[in-house]
Structure 1
Amino acid sequence: MCGIALILSGIRIDLSNLFPEFISPPPRPPQQVLYPIDDIKAALYRRGPDSIGSKNVFVSVNKSSSAGAEQDLSLVEVEVEDSHHCRTSCDLVNKESSGGASGFSHESFGELHFIGATLQLRGTKPIMQPLVDLSGNILVYNGEIFGGIYISRDSNDSEILMQYLGHCCSFASHDHNSKHSFCKDEETSVPEILSRIKGPWALIYWQNSSKTLWFGRDAFGRRSLLVHWPTPEDSRFLLTSVSPPSSECESSDFQESKGMCKLNFWEELPCGIYSISMAASKMDGCVFGELKKHKWTDSNLEELIQWERASVQPEADELSISCENAPLELSHKVLTVLRESVMRRTVLNRIYQTVSLGHGPEGYAPVAVLFSGGLDSMILSALLDQCLDPKYEIDLLNVSFDGLSAPDRISAQAGVKELETIAPSRRWKLVEIDADLMKLTSEMKHVMSLISPAKTYMDLNIGVALWLAAGGDGWIYEGMNHSGQRIKYKSEARILLVGSGADEQCAGYGRYKTKFRNGSWLALNEEMKLDMQRIWKRNLGRDDRCIADNGKEARFPFLDEDVIRSLLNIPLWEIADLNRPNGIGDKKILREVAQLLGLSGAAVLPKRAIQFGTRIARESNRKNFGSNRAANQASAGSVEIYSSSNFI
C-alpha cells in the first residue's frame, strides 16, 4: 500500500497494562509541537501515493444537566480531506446526541486524525483511504493479504478487510483472547480476523460501535509502524509509517529540544494487536482511553513467533549421512515453498492488468529485485522468472559506491550472465546505480529521518544503500548480454523483492560461526531465534521506510509464513553445517536450492552484507572517522550518529 498515520489528542490514555509504572499525563496542547500534522502528511506524500486522504473523529463527553445522570461518549463528526484538499463533512451520529439537544453539551472532547496514503497494487478500481463504512467504522491499512482471508483477483485488500472487520464483535470491554459470551455465533473478534492474515501489514482501525481504536502490525513487523507514547512534553498519541523530518527540529532556535527530537520521540511499535477503548472518565469528566495488548488467536502463528525447531542437535550418524548425501527432497520442498511465496507476491496486481490492456510502456518491468548477484537475490530472480509472464522485463537494482570495483557490482554482472544462461528469453536489465557518498549530504540527512528511531552508522549506511536502490535511478546497457551503449534508466517497478530473512533463518551471518564454535548447535539455534524475534526492530521497519520513500513496496519472500514454517521443520544441520567452509556450510539448504535452479556460480558465493558489498561502509568510515582503521578501533558500526561531531 503506502503509509498510514494517526494523531490522537485531547484524550488521557492509561498505558499501565503495557507499562506498569506509567503515569498518564494530562491531555494538553504541547508548548512546542515537534511533529505537526502537516509534517506527517508531507512525509507520506513524498512516497508517491496514488491518493492521500485524512479524516477527523471527534469523541466528546456528553454531560447531562440532569442530576445523577451518567456521562457518555458520542461521535460528533467526521471531516474528510482528500489529496486534492477538497473538504467535505458528514455527520455519523444522531443530531440529538451531538450537542444542543436533550440537555447535553460537549465540554470536553478528544480528536483522532486518520491519514491514509495509498499506493494501489491490487483491485480493478481506485480507492482512497481512510475507508469509512455505513456503520461509521474507519480503516487505514498498509499491507498485503496473501492468504488467510480470501481476496478475489479483482478485489482490493483494504476493502475486503474492512468488510470482515465490520462484522466483528463490538464488546470492547473483554480481552478478545477468546470468543465473548455476548458475541453472536457468526461474529468474530478483531484479533481473530487480524490473526488470520498471511502477509505484511500495519493497521489503524476505529470501531465505532464500541468507541475503540485498534492498531498494530504483523507478527514479524514486515511493515513499519512507529509510535509516540504520550509524555508530559507532548501528550498526543501518534502512530505513523515514517518519521517525518520535523521543521521545528531543523530550526536554529530549537536546540534545547533537539536531543529529544532526534533520539527519544519515536519507537518501533512492537509487533502485535492493540486497542484503546474510549470512555468518560469518572474523575474529571474527560475522555479516557485504556490501552490493551491482545494475543494472537491463531495457534499456528504463535508457533512461528516462538520459532521452535523440532530437530536442533544431530546424532553423529545423522551428521555424517547429511555431509555425504544431503536429502534432496528437503531442498525440493524449500524450492517449492519459495516459488509459491514469490508467486503470491508477484501476481494479482492491478499494474499487470493495466499493461495487459495496452496502457503500459514498451519494455515494462513491473517487478524489480534488490540485486547484489549474491545467493539470495539470485534465487529470487530465478524464481521470479518462473512466476512472471515472459513478456515482462525484470529490473535488477544494484548499488555501488566504488564504480565497477565494488564487490556487489562485480558479482551482479556475473549473476546477470548466469541468469541469461538459465533464462535466455527473458530481458534482464541490470540497473547500475552509481553513488558518491561525498555528494549525498542532503540525501544523508533525509535518510536519517527515514531510519529513525535507528541511529547508528551501520543503520544509516544500510538505509542509504537501500534508499538509492529502491529509487532505481541508474544506467543500463542497450543491448542484450550486457552489451551496447550504457544509457540512463530509471526503474518504474512498484514492487521490489528483497532477500531479508534468509540469513537469520539459514545461518548466513559470520557471527553465527562464532556462536557455533563456542556453544555448538544449541547456541547457534538460540542466536538464530534471537535474530528472528528481533528482526522487526533491527531490520524490517528501517528497510520498509527507506524503500517505501521511493513509491515502491518491499516484499520479503523469505519471510512468508509458509517458508518460515517449512524451514523450521527441517533439522538445523540440514539448514546449515558450520563445520564446513564458508560458501558451503553456511546457508547450506539455500545453496542446494540454487543448484536445483541451475545457479551453480551463485551457489558457492560467500555471504556479503550490503554495506560492505556496495562499499558504502568503507566510504563512510573514511568520511566520518578518517580511515577504516580508525573506524574499526571505534567500532564504527555501532556508534550512534548523534554522538559524533564528524557526521556531515
Structure 2
Amino acid sequence: MCGIAIVVSGVRFELSSFLPDYKPPPPLHSQPVHYPKVTVEDIKAVLERRGPDNLGTRKVYPQKNDDPVAELYFVGATLQLTGITPVFQPLVDTCSNVLVYNGEIFGGLHISKDSNDSETLMHSLGKCCPCNCHGHIIECQCIEDGQISVIELLSTIKGPWALIYWQDSSKTLWFGRDAFGRRSLLVHWPTWDDPRFLLSSVSPPLPVKDNSGEGQMKDLGFWEELSCGIYSVKLNETNLTGCLVGEVRKHDWADPVLNELINWERTYVERKAHEIYPHSVTVKKGHHILNPCNTNGISTKSSCTAEDGKLCAEVPASLVNGNNVHLPVSLPAHNVLVALREAVVRRAIINPIYQATVCKTIQDTPVPVAILFSGGLDSMILAALLDQCLDLCYEVDLLNVSFDEQHAPDRISARAGVKELQRISPSRRWNLVEVDADLSNLTSETKHVMSLISPSKTYMDLNIGIALWLAAGGDGWVDLGISDNCHRVKYKSDAKILLVGSGADEQCAGYSRHRTKYRLGGWLGLHEEMKLDMQRIWKRNLGRDDRCISDNGKEARFPFLDEDVIKTLLKVPLWDVADLDQPVGRGDKKILREVAQLLGLKESAFLPKRAIQFGSRIARESNRKNFGSNRAANQASAGSVVIQIPTNLSDTEAILATSQ
C-alpha cells in the first residue's frame, strides 16, 4: 500500500467526551474565511513522491433535505503488492460505501492467493451491520441476520493497517489504525485557525511564517499522531444552524486476545524458587530430535525426546546432524524462532504479478525484499530467516547507511555480517548496499525529512529519520568482490518490501535504560519499563519510521511486531527473555541471542545493541554541526532538544530550544 487521507469540511465535530480539554472552534456560520495551511494538493504531492501505481480521489457530499451541506474528500494512493489485477483507490462499492486503506492483512480475514487485501476488506465491510449501536452487541438488532459490526471485523485483522471508511447507509465515518500503530495516520482536529477535520498518512510541509510576525513555528502542532484504535463519527442533522454535527467516539477492540497483547501482561515476571516453570526447559546437546525438511529447506514440525519430557519445537536443518542438536538451546527459543520465521514468511510473499514478470531468464536478478541492515543481532536474524523463506532465485539487498564511510560501527558490523550470511547460505546472492552520507551536504534533504518526521520534532527524531530515509532509499554502492581488491559499483535497490527490526529491543530488554530499571526496581521494574515501551512505540517510533521509509516507495514490515511473535514472547518467563545480571551482549535480548545460535549465527549472536543514530554516526556529526561538539550536546541533553525554525533566518537554518 502507499498512503491515505481525508479532508472533511462543513461538519461540526463534537469532541468534548473524547478530548476533555478540547476547545471547539466557533459555529461554522460565524467563522471567518481561512486560508488552509494544508490542501488536498499538498497531500497528493507528498504521496506522489512515493511512486504509487495509482493515486485517486473521491468526494462525498452528505446532504440535508437533499442539499449538500458538507464535503468528505478522500485521497488514496496504491503501491500494489498483492493481487493479480490492478486496484484503484478510493474503492467504492455498489452501496456507495467508500474505502481508502493502507496496510497488509496477514491473518484474521481470508485473502486468497490472487486477491488484493483492500478489495477483500471492502467486500467484508460492505456486509457489516449498518445500525447505530456502534458494535454494542446487546443493542444490535442485526445479530440475528448473521452480521457483525465494523469494530468486530477490524479487530480480527492481523497485520499493519490504517484506514478511512465511509458507511453510507448509516452516514458514519470510520477510521483508525492497528493496535500497535505500525502504519502512520496523522490527525488534525478542528481548531479556530483551521476548522476542517483531516486525516493523513503523510505530513506535508507547513508554511514557515505565520501571521503574527513573532517569528515562531506556531504550526508545529497542526498534526498529531492518531492514537491506536477504531473511531467513528456519525453525522447527525441536529444543529440548529443547519450544519451536520458529528460526535467522535473511540471504541474498544472486540477481540479479547488482541486486548491481552495491548495490555502486555506477562505470565511469569519474577522467578520464585518454589514454583515450576514448564517453559524453562533446556534441550541439551545429544538429545534426540527428528527434523524432516521440505523441498525449500524450511524445517517442519518436529518431535523431540529428553529426560525432561517430550518437547515440541522446530529446529533449522542447519543445526541437525545425525538427529543431534549442535548447541544447547531452550524450548522458549525454539518457540520464538518458529513464530519469527512464520512472521517473515507472511511478510515475504511475492506478488504473483512480480513473479511472472521478473523471473523469466537466468540473466534476471530480481530483488523483491530488502532488509534495513546494520549487521547487528536483529537484522542478522531477519536475514537468516528470510533466506529460509525466499527462493534462491531472488537476491537480497542489505541496506546500510554510514556517515563515516567505512569507519562507522554499523558499516564494520554489516561487512562482517555479510560474511557470516555467506557462510550459512553460500548459494544466496547478498547485496550489501553501502549508502555513504555527509550531513553537511544534506541541507534540502534535512528540510524534507523534517516534514516527514512531523509531529516528532527533536534532534534525535531528525537523526533517526535522516538515517532511515537514506537507508530505505537504497542508493549506494555494492562491492563486487573481484579478487582481493574492493571494487565498488553504483547500485540502487528496487525492492518494494523492507524488513525492519523495530520492536525487538522493546520486547527483549535491549536498551540501556532497561538495565537501569532492573538495577533499581528488579524484575517488576524491568517489566513495567518494557510494557511502557510497547504501549508508546506507536507514538515515539512507528509513525515516524513508516513515513520516512514509505517516502522512498518502500513498504516497511516489522516481523518482531507480528501479533503471534508478541504473544509468544509474552508467554516466555522474563528471565528467559533477558538476564541483565550478565554483561552487555550476553544477557540483554538473551532469547534472541539463542534464536541467532539456532540459526547458525555465531559472531552476531553476541553483538551489543547500537541504535541507528549512533551506529551510523549521524548523531556524532549532528552534535558537531548543531552543538559544536559531542560534549556540548551531552551537556544540553541533545536527545530532548526541539528543532525550531525562526522566520528571520533561512528555511534550513535551525535554532535550539530545550524541551524542559
The answer to whether residue 257 in structure 2 is matched with residue 297 in structure 1 is: no
SS at structure 2 position matched to 1:368: strand
Work out whether residues 420 and 481 of structure 1, in 8 Å CA contact, stay in contact via their aligned partners in 2: no
Cα deviations across residues 53-106 of structure 1 (Å, max 9, x unaligned)? 0001111211xxxxxxxxxxxxxxxxxxxxxxxxxxxxxxxxxxx4xxxxxxx2
Which residue matches 1:103? none
Distance 1:522 1:425, change over 3 A: same
Q: Which of 42, 57, 60 matches 1:57? A: 60
Separation in structure 1 between the aligned mates of residue 364 and residue 422 of structure 2, nearest angstrom: 20
Distance 1:361 1:254, change over 3 A: farther
Which residue matches 2:492? 490
Q: Which of 637, 641, 644 matches 2:643? A: 641
Alignment of 1:387-536 (within 5 A): 387-479=389-481, 485-536=487-538
Report deviation, 1:354: 3.5
Tell me, which stretches of 5 or more residues in structure 2 are unaligned?
285-327, 656-660
Distance 1:643 1:630, change over 3 A: farther
SS at structure 2 position matched to 1:213: strand
Work out whether residues 30 and 235 of structure 1, in 8 Å CA contact, stay in contact via their aligned partners in 2: no
Q: Which of 218, 222, 227 matches 1:260? A: 218
Which stretch has the larger CA shift, 38-47 or 28-37? 28-37
Report deviation, 1:149: 0.3
The answer to whether residue 197 in structure 2 is matched with residue 232 in structure 1 is: no
Distance 1:372 1:132, change over 3 A: same
Report deviation, 1:164: 0.3
The answer to whether residue 10 in structure 2 is matched with residue 7 in structure 1 is: no
Report deviation, 1:584: 0.5
Alignment of 1:567-582 (within 5 A): 567-582=569-584
Which residue matches 2:115? 155
Distance 1:442 1:359, change over 3 A: farther
SS at structure 2 position matched to 1:487: strand
Q: Give 2:218's aligned amino acid.
A: M
Work out whether residues 210 and 216 of structure 2, in 8 Å CA contact, stay in contact via their aligned partners in 1: no
Report deviation, 1:33: 1.3
Q: Which of 173, 176, 192 matches 1:213? A: 173
Work out whether residues 282 and 330 of structure 2, in 8 Å CA contact, stay in contact via their aligned partners in 1: no
Distance 1:353 1:323, change over 3 A: closer
Distance 1:636 1:232, change over 3 A: same
Separation in structure 2 between the aligned mates of residue 474 and residue 382 of structure 1, nearest angstrom: 23
Distance 1:3 1:471, change over 3 A: same
Which residue matches 1:583? 585
Separation in structure 2 between the aligned mates of residue 640 and residue 482 of structure 1, nearest angstrom: 47
Cα deviations across residues 264-318 of structure 1 (Å, max 9, x unaligned)? 1000000000000011124222111111111100000000000000000012588
Which stretch has the larger CA shift, 378-387 or 277-286? 277-286
Separation in structure 2 between the aligned mates of residue 19 and residue 147 of structure 1, nearest angstrom: 33
The answer to whether residue 150 in structure 2 is matched with residue 190 in structure 1 is: yes
Q: Give 2:360's aligned amino acid.
A: G
SS at structure 1 position matched to 2:332: helix
Q: Give 1:285's aligned amino acid.
A: G
The answer to whether residue 161 in structure 2 is matched with residue 201 in structure 1 is: yes
Q: Give 1:198's aligned amino acid.
A: K
Which residue matches 1:312? 269
Which residue matches 2:126? 166
Separation in structure 2 between the aligned mates of residue 582 and residue 435 of structure 1, nearest angstrom: 29
Alignment of 1:328-347 (within 5 A): 328-347=330-349
Separation in structure 1 between the aligned mates of residue 189 and residue 209 of structure 2, nearest angstrom: 24
Q: Give 2:135's aligned amino acid.
A: H
Tell me, which stretches of 5 or more residues in structure 1 are unaligned?
63-97, 99-105
Work out whether residues 355 and 361 of structure 1, in 8 Å CA contact, stay in contact via their aligned partners in 2: no
Work out whether residues 61 and 71 of structure 2, in 8 Å CA contact, stay in contact via their aligned partners in 1: yes
Report deviation, 1:186: 1.6
Separation in structure 2 between the aligned mates of residue 446 and residue 613 of structure 1, nearest angstrom: 23
Separation in structure 1 between the aligned mates of residue 213 and residue 468 of structure 2, nearest angstrom: 30
Distance 1:317 1:588, change over 3 A: farther
Q: Which of 134, 137, 142 matches 1:178? A: 137
Separation in structure 2 between the aligned mates of residue 621 and residue 595 of structure 1, nearest angstrom: 37
Which residue matches 2:70? 110
Distance 1:361 1:220, change over 3 A: farther
Distance 1:198 1:323, change over 3 A: closer
Distance 1:337 1:296, change over 3 A: same
Which residue matches 2:315? none
SS at structure 1 position matched to 2:120: helix
Q: Give 1:36's aligned amino acid.
A: T
Separation in structure 1 between the aligned mates of residue 254 and residue 363 of structure 2, nearest angstrom: 45
Q: Give 2:190's aligned amino acid.
A: P
The answer to whether residue 51 in structure 2 is matched with residue 48 in structure 1 is: yes
Q: Which of 370, 373, 383 matches 1:371? A: 373
The answer to whether residue 77 in structure 2 is matched with residue 125 in structure 1 is: no
SS at structure 1 position matched to 2:537: helix
Which residue matches 1:288? 245
Report deviation, 1:16: 1.7
Q: Give 2:540's aligned amino acid.
A: R
Report deviation, 1:179: 5.8
Separation in structure 2 between the aligned mates of residue 360 and residue 23 of structure 1, nearest angstrom: 64
Separation in structure 2 between the aligned mates of residue 399 and residue 477 of structure 1, nearest angstrom: 15
Work out whether residues 177 and 191 of structure 1, in 8 Å CA contact, stay in contact via their aligned partners in 2: no
Work out whether residues 209 and 215 of structure 2, in 8 Å CA contact, stay in contact via their aligned partners in 1: no
